[in-house]
Chains A and B, each alone.
Chain A
Amino acid sequence: MDSYKKHKFLLLDYSVLTGSIVLSLVLLFTANNSGKTSGLQKVGIEVLGFAASPVQDFKSLVRVRAKNRRLAKENAELELDLSRYKEAFQENVRLRKLVGFGERQGGLSVVPAKVIGRNNMPGVKTILLDVGSNKKIKSELPVVSGEGLVGKVIHVTPNHSTVQLIIDRNFRAAARIQRNRETGIFEMTGKGFGVLSGVHHRVKIIPGDTVITTGMESLYPAGFVIGIVDKVDDSQPGLFQNIRVVPRVNFTRLEEAFVVLNDYRMNGDDSKAGKR
């Protein structure tokens, strides 16, 4: 091979490498600061979404028999629970009337979605859902499953959306201990568990306590389970305890999720949502 051709190829090699590095750095320093989904990212999400859907369908099909059996059992148990809760609800309505409380706002409306992909890089945890702006999905909407809070929508395209999971190292949410109503901030440590910070030393927290969303920050409706207190360390100096929380949702087995079309923000208090 002649020297000219060889040098031409070498020039091409290094040009493509330089171009790729420069483009990557430009993306790293520009596309990530806006907080919006870039056009490039939208194309990527749509392409991956369409390619991943059939694979996920096949995976679901393989698991459907075992799942069906489990759901039938769960259904029977839930039927029993439901009848008990109906009784409790009726009793609650009667008691509220007795003490003069008004009726609560209606339930939240949700959009069911299938998990068709996930990003499992160290520390970065997202999933790809098969619903997008065509189904009224917007950024920042909360995502839940039967087990509890899953995360929030961060990128939306017409047919797909990306969800930042609560196990992502950048996730934070106002949280509350269900038993004693104490509040704090839940955040992940990047080590497979989260911490509930801002809870005073004097407050008694017990391993096994349930941590739920407070509803105070208007992003997540109140009462969704975030996790369970795993360990409490109040021996450290300072005002607050070190509370270790294990997320409730099993993210490796998550196949379906529900995007909450937050009625509170959309209907009840638009002005508040706009100010955020």
Chain B
Amino acid sequence: MKQILHIVILIIAVVAQITIVDVLSVKDISPDLVLIALCFVALRGDRYELTALGFFAGLLLDSIGPGILGANALAKSIAGFLAVTLFSVKSIHHLYELLGVFVIIALVNFFILHFIIFVGHQSFWALLISKTLPSLVYTIVLFFIFFFFLPVTSWKRYRVGGGIDSGLNY
């Protein structure tokens, strides 16, 4: 039942990403709603589940792109795995702790995407600054706003294991 709910949340996020994200776009800079949803689900899900869900959500996003099938799938599956892992490292009592973890996940996700899309491009670094960084910052801001209005109990968590691979969710 929990897994079905997670799948539904991610499908809604993917649909929102391709339909209503233009409403949120500022001067061609758009947030990654799927990444935010993936992290939301990661607070409750298992690591293998989030890796697989990230892969399929990314694959759906890739399917309407021109010739980069696999880019989002790779970035989101690693982001899903990383999210559950990092959320398991320590207890999260404050929003800034949650935000700190999300910044790392978002950096990894956006860097993988940017590298795949723009590798070999003559203005690789200029595009990183002009295109990818603004999207990254916007996603982080939106993540903060989203979790700011959520009840603390929905994201607050206590470390119960003994480290990254201690199996918090098992």
Contacts and interface: CB of A to CB of B under 8 A. Distances in A.
Interface of A: 1, 5-6, 9-10, 12-13, 15-17, 20-21, 23-28, 31-32, 35, 38, 40-41, 43-45, 47-48, 51-52, 55-56, 59, 116-124, 126, 128, 154-155, 162, 164, 168-170, 190-192, 252
A122 B131 contact: yes
Grouping DSSP codes into helix (H, G, I), strand (E, B) and loop, the A interface class, with mixed when no group exceeds half, is: helix
A51 B11 contact: yes
Contacts of A16: 47-48, 51-52
Q: List 4 A-B pairs, minimum CB-CB distance, nearest first.
A: A44-B63, A27-B70, A117-B18, A24-B74
Interface residues of B, number: 57
A124 B68 contact: yes
A24 B73 contact: yes
Nearest to A168: B66
Contact of B19 (A15, A59, A154): A59
A23 B59 CA distance: 10
Grouping DSSP codes into helix (H, G, I), strand (E, B) and loop, the B interface class, with mixed when no group exceeds half, is: helix
Contacts of B64: 44-45, 48, 117-119, 126, 128, 155, 162
B2 interface: no
Nearest to B116: A28
Interface of B: 11, 14-16, 18-22, 25, 27-28, 30, 46-48, 51-52, 54-55, 58-74, 77-78, 81, 113-114, 116-118, 121, 123, 126-127, 130-132, 135, 165-167, 170
Given A48-B14, A118-B19, 17 more contacts: A1-B167, A16-B51, A20-B51, A20-B73, A28-B68, A38-B69, A51-B14, A55-B19, A117-B18, A119-B64, A119-B65, A121-B65, A122-B132, A123-B118, A154-B67, A190-B131, A192-B27
B114 A32 contact: no
22 contacts: A9-B46, A9-B167, A13-B51, A17-B48, A20-B52, A20-B78, A21-B74, A24-B58, A24-B71, A24-B74, A28-B74, A35-B67, A44-B62, A48-B14, A52-B18, A55-B19, A118-B18, A121-B72, A124-B65, A126-B64, A128-B18, A252-B22
